[in-house]
Amino acid sequence: MKISTKGRYGLRSMIDLAINSSGNTPVFISDIAKRQHLSEKYLEHIFGALHKAGLVRSIRGRKGGYLLQKNPEEITLSEIITALEGKISLVECVLDPDICPSAKKCVTRDLWQGLSDKINEYLSSHTLNDLIQMQKSREQNDTLMYYI
């Protein structure tokens, strides 16, 4: 029961993208990879998935790169994780009861269903903006420390 690197790296990259894009100038994957200490090639894949899910806008060619497609407060963490890891459910049969012949009787399915709902609830109730604000205030506090 772990979040994969795709999900983890992707979320961090979305925060990085939001913080480092000024206006309409796109951000290079290579820059995000450098700042986040990630492989450029692997990050390409991740942004492919984010793009496909409509969370980022891409500009091809020289001086191209990526931009957020929506405002950070309109992007829930659930959307980001779903884009990168698929629909959130702890067991397959929560989404697709047909794969378990005894799904109707199975009490553990109800349990996993309930827990999956909790997880979805949590991730839907936080937006990318929440993380950005946390990040920014944390950085500001770090700076202030030097003046105290």
Q: Which residues bind ligand FES (CB under 6 A)?
A: 8, 91, 93, 100, 102-103, 106, 108-109
* Residue 64 or 86 with smaller CB distance to a copy of itself: 86
Q: Per-residue x/- mask for DNA, residues 38 to 77, rule CB under 7 A?
A: -x-xx-xx-xx--xx-----xxxxxxxxx-----------
Please give the backbone phi and psi of residue 83, each rounded to the nearest 5 degrees, phi first: -60, -35
- 36 Cβ neighbours under 8 A, 6+ residues apart: 9, 12, 13, 16, 43
Q: To the nearest whole angstrom, how small is the minimum distance from the Cβ of residue 80 to DNA?
A: 15
30 near DNA, rule: CB under 7 A: yes
Residue 91 contacts a copy of itself per CB under 8 A: yes
Q: Is 60 in the site for a copy of itself (CB under 8 A)?
A: no
Residues found near DNA in the complex (CB under 7 A): 2, 4-6, 9, 28-30, 39, 41-42, 44-45, 47-48, 51-52, 58-66
